[in-house]
Copies of this chain bind each other. A is one copy, B any other.
């Protein structure tokens, strides 16, 4: 931590900061420049957590030099994390494809989808049973009934299943049926939920919040890991910007940035990122080429009547076409599909 003083700060202001730091058992390193004096804090900055140095007289700003996340930080854990979901490994040499409907609507819809995506080469079945919807009047999900269909689909196809949870109730139900919990974008900073998901020990797919910085995203992962659960997979799904041609703006840079800052695997969801079916293929290709560990792609037996997110869902034929087109690219990237 560095404290930058205002230009020509009085010596007594500098001394006051210095003494606060030293009282906490830390060391203050003073650099008196020709315009400003900066004070470097040497030692464990957690000891200063109850001091708001920013509001002392003549303090201009505080600059943090270390990240607040530790367990999710590549600096301290340089080896890539590999997460096992059933018999599938994420973060290794498989380009993991998760697919399925936005919302589980019926047993028939889900089973048909599970078989179709398996045939096309997908590894994990996704499906929402608890749907966070902007309007209270939109379809809210089948809840536990939906989870039971997920389990049935897994039993029939062998594909592990992932399902979003939105409350402690949902977690308590989900652990009985699914292989991986998903924390959705709107709950990325629902810290209560993160801790509860962490306690289950199940692998967690953590979607990036609509307006979350990469730092905040890794801090959210830190909540899960700190609860004793290192099995976290990140999922970039677009951030909110001024552009309206797509529903969100896929931050493709997050893939190399996460690879530089963290050891956690990262997958990309081009369906939610764009909200437009026609753009899903281009962005899937881009994500793989950028170095992602996998993709999450929405599919539906008949997107024209999907109860949620139909406009961005692929039909089974379109999904199969996509996986075919991905194969040579995945191969170039040194992975297999």
Does A182 belong to the interface (CB within 8 Å)?
A: no
Stoichiometry, as copies per complex, reads: 4
Interface size class of chain A, counting residues whose CB lies under 8 Å from the partner chain? 35 or more
Interface hit among A27-35, A92-100, A112-120: A27-35
Question: A291 contacts which chain B residues (CB < 8 A)?
Answer: 282, 285
Question: A213 contacts which chain B residues (CB < 8 A)?
Answer: 242-245
B241 touches A51 (CB 8 A): no
Which of B219, B286, B328 interacts with A290 by CB under 8 Å? B286
Does A68 belong to the interface (CB within 8 Å)?
A: yes
* Known contacts A31-B29, A135-B219, A135-B222; A242/B282 CB under 8 A: no
A253 touches B244 (CB 8 A): no
- Given A51-B305, A135-B222, output 4 extra A-B contacts at Cβ < 8 Å: A50-B307, A211-B242, A245-B254, A250-B251
| Residues of A that sit less than 8 Å from B by CB | 2, 4, 6-7, 29, 31-36, 38, 40-44, 46, 49-52, 54-56, 60-61, 63, 65-66, 68-69, 75-76, 130, 132-140, 166-170, 186-187, 189-193, 195, 209-211, 213-216, 219, 222-223, 226, 239-246, 249-257, 259-261, 273-274, 277-279, 282-283, 285-291, 303-307, 310-311, 328-329, 332
